[in-house]
Chains A and B, each alone.
Chain A
Amino acid sequence: MKKKNLLIGALVATLIGGSLIAHPAKAASTDLVIGSVLDIDKTDPHTATNFATVRALGLVYGSLIEIGAKNAIKGGLATSWIFSKDGMQLTLNLREGVKFHDGTAFDAEDAKASLERILDTKTGAAARANIATITSITAKGRQLILKLSVPNAPILAALEGVNMAMLSKEDITAAKIGGSNKPNGTGPFKWGSWEPTQSVKLSSFADYYMGEPKIKNVTIRVIPNEASILSAMNAGSVQFGIVTDPLIAKQVGKNLKTFRVPALAYYALQFNTKVAPLNDKNVRLAIQCAINRDELIQTALLGEGKVTGPITSPAYRSDPTARPCPKQDLAKAKEYLTAAGKSSGVSFKTMVTSTGWATSVSMAQNLKAQLAKANITMELDIIEQGTYVPRWLAADFVATLANNGGRIDPDTMYTRYFTSTGNLNKVATYSSSTLDANFLKGKASGKVAVRKDAYTAISKELEDNAIWVWLATPYEYRVSVKNLRNFSALANGSLLPLRSAYLG
C-alpha cells in the first residue's frame, strides 16, 4: 500500500513540477502575438464597428487616405489629390503597383466599386453618412473622380480607415465579402485564419507596396481579461497587448514598454435638453460649474486622462479653459440654480453603462459625489451595455455618461450629432441655425484657419449652453516587449504602424 501511495505522490509531483519547469516555447523573433480582450465579430470591413474587428482588418485592408503619426492626413492607396475651385469635385490619383492578396492589381475600378458598395444602403456600411455627399464616382485611368453635392473638404479625412477599405471589384461583384469568405485586401498582412473566441492569424504580404513587413506572422489572441494579457506578456507568450483600463496600464513593469497617446474619444455627461430639469440652461450650467474635472481624472481615471472640450480632433482641438467655469465653482453653480428657481437643489437620473468601459461606474460615482456638494443629486441608473445602446439610440435618458468615439476631423465627428439633419441629432437633443451654418462653413473650406474659426464657434455655442458637459479624453495604450522597434501608437487606435515594426 505504501508503494502505491508513493507512486501516486510521485505522479502528482511530476505533473505539477513538470508543468512548472516546462515553459512554453517562446515565439520566433519574426512572430508577434497580440493579446486582445475582444474577438473580432465579422470580416466585412465596411460594416465593422467593433474595435477588435477594426484593428484586425486594418492590417489586412488598405484605404485611399491614412492618418500619420502626428494625426496628419497622408496618402494611402491615393498618392495625391486635388479639389476643384468650387470644392464640388475631388480628384484622387491612385498609387501604382498595388496588389490585392490574391495577386490581382488594384485600380480605379476597384476604388469606384468599393465606394459604391459603401454608398449602397443595402450594405449597411457604418460610415456611409460620412461620404453621402458623393453624387457620382468616375474611374479614369489611375484617377478617381468624386463629384459632391456640396463643397466638402472633410471628405478627405472621411476616406480614411477600415470602414473605407478598398476591395476588389471582382469580390464585390461575386458577393465574396464577409461571412465565410477570406478577406482579400491590399494591406501589409494577409488573412490566415479565424478561430472564433480564440485567435486571428495573419501573415506578411510579400507584394505589399511598401515592402514586405519584417514581422512575418501576427496572431491576435483573445485573452478576455486585461490582467491576464499583462500576465501573458510577463510570461513571454504574448509580445503586444491592447489595454484600455488605466489600472492595468499602471501595472506594466519595467520589463515591458508602454505606448500612451491621448485618444480621440472623449467622456461627456450627455444631457437630454428636451426633458426637465435639463431643459433649463441654468440647471445644465450649474452642473457644469459643480464639476471638478481634474479631480475626476485623478480619482476615477487614476490620473490617466486630459481635460477636454467638445472637439478632440488635433488640428481643431477645443480650448478647455474657454468654457463657463473651466474650474469647479460651487458659488457660481448655486447662482445658476437660483436663476433656475431651484435654490433648494435639483435631482436628475443618469444612465451609466456597467460594461461599456473600465472606469464608467467609478467616474459616475465620482461625479455624483462632486455634484452633491452643490446640492445637485445625480441618481445613477447602471445598466449593461446591451441595454444601454438601444436606450441611448432612443434618447431614453435624462442624462447619460458617455464614452463617444472621436474623429480626426470635427466634421465627421459632430455633424451627425449637432446638425438639424444629423442622424444622431435625436440623441444629441440640440441643434440650431447657427450650428448648421458653422458646420457648413467648416465643411466648405479647405483652409485650416477658416475651418478653425467655424469649429471654435461651434465649440463655444455647445459649452456656453452646456448642451453636454465635456469631461476628459482617455489615453490609448499599447504595451509591448522591450525589443519591439519602429512602432508608434496612433490616436485612432490603428495597428498599421506594425507594417514597419520589427523585433530585435
Chain B
Amino acid sequence: MKKSSLLSRLLSVATTLFGISIFVFLVLRVIPGDTITSSLGIETGALNQEQIESLRKYYGIDQPIIGQYFSWISSFIQGDLGFSYSTGAPVLQLTKSALLVTMELALLGTTLGVFLGISVGMFSARKPGSLRDFLGQFFGLLALAIPGFVLSTTIVTVMANKFQYFPNGNEYMSPVEDLWMNLQQMLFPSLVLGIAVAAPVMRTTRSALLETVDKDFVRTAIGKGVTAKAVRLKHILRNSLIPIVTMTGIQFGYLLGGAVIVEKIFALPGMGRQILDAINKREYATVQSSIMVFAILFVTINLITDLIYRRIDPRIK
C-alpha cells in the first residue's frame, strides 16, 4: 500500500470515529431519562430538588453538554474510559474482560461459520442444479431463516431437559482460568453464531465460485492437466476469495455487536450485554466508551480486510 494511500485511509478512519463519537454522545442525550431516573426508577419522585441536584453533580450530568463531550472524549483518548457508577468499577476494567469474551465468541463463531459456509458453498457449486446444490442452498436458507434466539433457546432447553447439560449455568470461566469449561461454555453460542455466519458466506462462496469456474484461466489450467482438486482450491477458490473475505469481515463486525441475544441466553458476560445494560441504566460513559471501542475494532477489521485484498489480489492498489 502506498504511503499516501495509507495516510488517506487513516485520515478517513479518524474522521469516521470522530463522527461516531458525536453521534453516540448526542443520541444518548436525546433519549428520555437519565442515570438518576434509571437508577431509582419511580422512587425518583421521592427526591427533593436539592437531592436531585446533588445526584446530578455526583453523576457529572450537571455540566453543559459541550463540556461533557470534551471531558469524555479527551479522557477516552488518554485511555480513561470513564467510571461505571452502577458497578463501582472503571469502564476500562469492565470493557477489558467483556471484550475478551465477545472477541473469543466472535472469533469462534466466525471460524466455524467460514469453515461451514465455504465447505457447503463448494459442495453446492460443484454441480449447479443438482440434488447436492439443492441441499446446500436449503441449508443456506434454513440458516438464514432460523432466528438466533430460537436456535439458542431450543439448544438450551433440549440440552438441559434431556441431557441435564448446561455448562453456561456455571460461573463463566475464561480460557486462562479453565480452558475445558470455557470451551464447553463457548461451544453452543459459537455454533449458533457460526450457523448465522455460514449462511451468507455459503451463498457468497457459491455464487463467486460459479462466476469464476467459467473463466479462461480455469479452462487453461484444466487443459494443462492440473488435477481437479488443485483447480478447485488453487485456481477457482483463490480467485473467488475477495467477496468471501468481504462477507466474512462484515459478519465478524456484525458478531461483535450483534451477539447480545446469544450472550443473554447463554449468560456470557460480553460486550453486547454490557452495552445493553448500560443503555437501560443510562450510564453514558459506559455506553459511549464501549461503542467507541467497538467502532475502533470495526474500522480496524475493515482496514485489515483491505490489506488482505491486496495480499489475495496483488492487482489491487
What distance in Å separates the Cβ of B81 from its nearest Cβ neighbour in chain A? 14
Report whether B31 and A387 are in contact in the complex, using a CB–CB cutoff of 8 Å. Answer: yes
Interface bracket on A: 35 or more
Task: For the complex, give the distance between the alpha carbons of A230 and B279 in Å.
Answer: 26
Which residues of the partner chain A approach B160 to less than 8 Å between Cβ atoms? 230-232, 234-235
Report whether A224 and B170 are in contact in the complex, using a CB–CB cutoff of 8 Å. Answer: no
State whether the Cβ of A373 lies closer than 8 Å to any Cβ in chain B: no
Report whether B55 and A228 are in contact in the complex, using a CB–CB cutoff of 8 Å. Answer: no
Supposing A196-B94, A197-B269 touch, asked if A232 and B187 sit within 8 A by C-beta, the answer is: no
* B126-164 Cβ-contact flags toward A at 8 Å (1 or 0): 000000000000000000000000000100110111011
Which residues of the partner chain B approach A126 to less than 8 Å between Cβ atoms? 40, 43, 46
A-B contact count (CB 8 A): 172
Which residues of the partner chain B approach A20 to less than 8 Å between Cβ atoms? 163, 165
Interface centre among B84, B160, B161 (most CB of A within 10 A): B160
Supposing A198-B172, A235-B160, A235-B166 touch, asked if A225 and B265 sit within 8 A by C-beta, the answer is: yes
Contact of B281 among A41, A129, A390 (CB under 8 A): A41
Main secondary structure, interface of A, reads mixed
State whether the Cβ of A501 lies closer than 8 Å to any Cβ in chain B: no
State whether the Cβ of A128 lies closer than 8 Å to any Cβ in chain B: yes
State whether the Cβ of A391 lies closer than 8 Å to any Cβ in chain B: yes
Which residues of the partner chain A approach B166 to less than 8 Å between Cβ atoms? 228, 231-232, 234-235, 237
What distance in Å separates the Cβ of A88 from its nearest Cβ neighbour in chain B? 24
> Which segment, of A66-74, A215-223, A328-336, A483-491, faces chain B?
A215-223
State whether the Cβ of A367 lies closer than 8 Å to any Cβ in chain B: no
Supposing A41-B281, A232-B166 touch, asked if A224 and B39 sit within 8 A by C-beta, the answer is: no
Report whether A124 and B38 are in contact in the complex, using a CB–CB cutoff of 8 Å. Answer: no
Supposing A198-B171, A235-B169, A427-B45 touch, asked if A19 and B84 sit within 8 A by C-beta, the answer is: no
State whether the Cβ of B282 lies closer than 8 Å to any Cβ in chain A: yes
Report whether B169 and A237 are in contact in the complex, using a CB–CB cutoff of 8 Å. Answer: yes
State whether the Cβ of B42 lies closer than 8 Å to any Cβ in chain A: yes
What distance in Å separates the Cβ of A295 from its nearest Cβ neighbour in chain B? 28
Report whether A221 and B171 are in contact in the complex, using a CB–CB cutoff of 8 Å. Answer: yes
Which residues of the partner chain B approach A178 to less than 8 Å between Cβ atoms? 88
Supposing A121-B51, A231-B166, A389-B33 touch, asked if A19 and B183 sit within 8 A by C-beta, the answer is: yes
Which residues of the partner chain A approach B47 to less than 8 Å between Cβ atoms? 124
Report whether A196 and B84 are in contact in the complex, using a CB–CB cutoff of 8 Å. Answer: yes
Report whether A423 and B46 are in contact in the complex, using a CB–CB cutoff of 8 Å. Answer: yes
Report whether A386 and B87 are in contact in the complex, using a CB–CB cutoff of 8 Å. Answer: no
Q: Which of A207-259 contact B (CB under 8 A)?
A: 219, 221-225, 227-228, 230-238, 253
What distance in Å separates the Cβ of A316 from its nearest Cβ neighbour in chain B? 22
Task: For the complex, give the distance between the alpha carbons of A1 and B271 in Å.
Answer: 40
What distance in Å separates the Cβ of A161 from its nearest Cβ neighbour in chain B? 13
Interface centre among B34, B37, B94, B277 (most CB of A within 10 A): B37
Contact of A198 among B51, B55, B165, B269 (CB under 8 A): B269
State whether the Cβ of A421 lies closer than 8 Å to any Cβ in chain B: no
State whether the Cβ of A424 lies closer than 8 Å to any Cβ in chain B: yes
Task: For the complex, give the distance between the alpha carbons of A424 and B44 in Å.
Answer: 10
Which residues of the partner chain B approach A22 to less than 8 Å between Cβ atoms? 180, 184
What distance in Å separates the Cβ of B32 from its nearest Cβ neighbour in chain A? 5
Contact of A231 among B156, B184, B269, B281 (CB under 8 A): B156
Report whether B37 and A19 are in contact in the complex, using a CB–CB cutoff of 8 Å. Answer: no
Supposing A43-B88, A225-B264 touch, asked if A121 and B50 sit within 8 A by C-beta, the answer is: yes
* A1-39 Cβ-contact flags toward B at 8 Å (1 or 0): 000000000000001100110111000000000010001
Task: For the complex, give the distance between the alpha carbons of A15 and B270 in Å.
Answer: 23
Q: Which of B191-248 contact A (CB under 8 A)?
A: none
Which residues of the partner chain B approach A199 to less than 8 Å between Cβ atoms? 171
29 pairs, CB–CB < 8 Å, chain A vs chain B: A19-B167, A47-B40, A50-B39, A122-B54, A124-B51, A126-B40, A126-B46, A128-B46, A196-B86, A197-B87, A223-B169, A228-B166, A228-B168, A228-B169, A228-B264, A231-B156, A232-B166, A234-B164, A235-B159, A235-B166, A386-B33, A386-B38, A389-B42, A390-B32, A392-B42, A393-B37, A393-B42, A424-B42, A427-B45
Supposing A225-B267, A389-B38 touch, asked if A235 and B45 sit within 8 A by C-beta, the answer is: no
What distance in Å separates the Cβ of B177 from its nearest Cβ neighbour in chain A? 12
Supposing A126-B43, A197-B274, A392-B42 touch, asked if A235 and B164 sit within 8 A by C-beta, the answer is: yes
Task: For the complex, give the distance between the alpha carbons of A238 and B167 in Å.
Answer: 11
Report whether B41 and A389 are in contact in the complex, using a CB–CB cutoff of 8 Å. Answer: yes
Which residues of the partner chain B approach A386 to less than 8 Å between Cβ atoms? 31-33, 37-38, 279-280, 282
Report whether B88 and A180 are in contact in the complex, using a CB–CB cutoff of 8 Å. Answer: yes
Task: For the complex, give the distance between the alpha carbons of A179 and B264 in Å.
Answer: 26
Task: For the complex, give the distance between the alpha carbons of A43 and B85 in Å.
Answer: 11
What distance in Å separates the Cβ of B306 from its nearest Cβ neighbour in chain A? 31
What distance in Å separates the Cβ of A130 from its nearest Cβ neighbour in chain B? 9
Shortest Cβ distance from B160 into A: residue: A231
Supposing A237-B166, A390-B37 touch, asked if A197 and B273 sit within 8 A by C-beta, the answer is: yes
Contact of B181 among A24, A49, A121, A221 (CB under 8 A): A24
Shortest Cβ distance from B98 into A: residue: A197
Contact of B88 among A49, A179, A390, A424 (CB under 8 A): A179
Which residues of the partner chain B approach A128 to less than 8 Å between Cβ atoms? 46
Q: Which of B15-73 contact A (CB under 8 A)?
A: 31-34, 37-48, 50-51, 54-55
Report whether A49 and B172 are in contact in the complex, using a CB–CB cutoff of 8 Å. Answer: no
Report whether B44 and A24 are in contact in the complex, using a CB–CB cutoff of 8 Å. Answer: no
Shortest Cβ distance from A355 into B: residue: B280
Shortest Cβ distance from B186 into A: residue: A19
Task: For the complex, give the distance between the alpha carbons of A19 and B167 in Å.
Answer: 9
State whether the Cβ of A385 lies closer than 8 Å to any Cβ in chain B: yes
Contact of A389 among B37, B87, B165, B274 (CB under 8 A): B37
Which residues of the partner chain B approach A232 to less than 8 Å between Cβ atoms? 160, 166, 168-169, 267
Which residues of the partner chain A approach B266 to less than 8 Å between Cβ atoms? 228
State whether the Cβ of A42 lies closer than 8 Å to any Cβ in chain B: yes
Interface centre among A127, A129, A197, A238 (most CB of B within 10 A): A197
Task: For the complex, give the distance between the alpha carbons of A22 and B184 in Å.
Answer: 9
State whether the Cβ of A176 lies closer than 8 Å to any Cβ in chain B: no
Report whether A389 and B44 are in contact in the complex, using a CB–CB cutoff of 8 Å. Answer: yes
Report whether A121 and B48 are in contact in the complex, using a CB–CB cutoff of 8 Å. Answer: yes
What distance in Å separates the Cβ of A19 from its nearest Cβ neighbour in chain B? 4
Which residues of the partner chain B approach A227 to less than 8 Å between Cβ atoms? 153, 156-157, 265
Report whether B169 and A196 are in contact in the complex, using a CB–CB cutoff of 8 Å. Answer: no
Q: Which of A66-92 contact B (CB under 8 A)?
A: none
Which residues of the partner chain B approach A342 to less than 8 Å between Cβ atoms? none
Task: For the complex, give the distance between the alpha carbons of A19 and B168 in Å.
Answer: 12
Report whether A15 and B187 are in contact in the complex, using a CB–CB cutoff of 8 Å. Answer: yes
* B94-138 Cβ-contact flags toward A at 8 Å (1 or 0): 100010000000000000000000000000000000000000000
Task: For the complex, give the distance between the alpha carbons of A261 and B89 in Å.
Answer: 37
